[in-house]
Amino acid sequence: MPRHLLSRFALAALLSLTCAAPALADWRDVPYADVAKMPLGLKKVDTRGVYSFYYLARPAEGKTALPPGLQLRIKAGTQVIPVPIAENGRIDLPFRQDWASNGAVIQVNQPKGSFRMTFTMIPRVPAGTRMSYANLTESAEVMERGIREMAGMLSLFAPKVRAFTLQFPPGAAHSATLTWPDGKKKVWKTGADGRIELPWEPGWAAAIVELSAPLKDVGPQVK
């Protein structure tokens, strides 16, 4: 499974920008704080930079392409900052708390519902084939902190990390062996899809993980 799909399964924000102008030249404002809330919250809890993250512009429901001439810009005080959009839809949007706190807006030149934005989170893949369980599953810990940060007082009812997916290169059977400090061992083996789903157990942090090959992708599974 590609990394961006793993991360999107774990956590994704899908939104339609609320700009209701029928004409391309008529720029409409969207609160910057609404769009930056999740990235800023993630930066707060991800102090080690475990995740890379970005927004993607996607075609609207039932459409196959982005609207022609799509443009975004940020208006922060007297500054107007163009926001680049790559050919693949990746939006180079800067995330700044001062802009969010001081009423900055994102200006869009398209009508409501003409496109969507998805927030994509990609966890880094641990290098090598031997590491602690804590190092292997570092993205799950960050994910849980992020969920608590976003949910606030409702964190009791928020989704939780239930498992941790390891994606190996295709074409061969692979395994992950955990050895606990007391010497106990357990082996997980890949299925036909080249994946292993490990239990998410913070208490296993000191266990040593030995992989049959370097990983292609990792990601926490949230339910």
Among 86, 105, 122, residue at a domain's last position = 122
67 and 139 in a common domain: no
101 and 116 in a common domain: yes
71 and 14 in a common domain: yes
Predicted pLDDT of residue 155: 61
Residue 13 confidence (pLDDT) above 50: no
Per residue in 78-112, pLDDT (tens digit) is 999 999 999 999 999 999 999 999 999 999 999 88
pLDDT-derived band of residue 160, with 50, 70 and 90 as boundaries?
confident
80 and 13 in a common domain: yes
pLDDT-derived band of residue 156, with 50, 70 and 90 as boundaries?
low
Mean pLDDT value across the chain: 87
Predicted pLDDT of residue 23: 44
Among 104, 122, 140, residue at a domain's last position = 122
Q: Report the pLDDT averaged over residues 152-163.
A: 74
132 and 101 in a common domain: no
Among 75, 104, 122, residue at a domain's last position = 122
**In total, how many domains does the chain have?**
2
Per residue in 163-178, pLDDT (tens digit) is 999 999 988 999 999 9
96 and 9 in a common domain: yes
Predicted pLDDT of residue 2: 43
For residue 166, what are the domain limits? 128-222
The more confidently predicted of residues 26 and 91 is 91
The conformational region for residue 5 under phi > 0 = left, psi -120 to 50 = alpha, else beta, is alpha
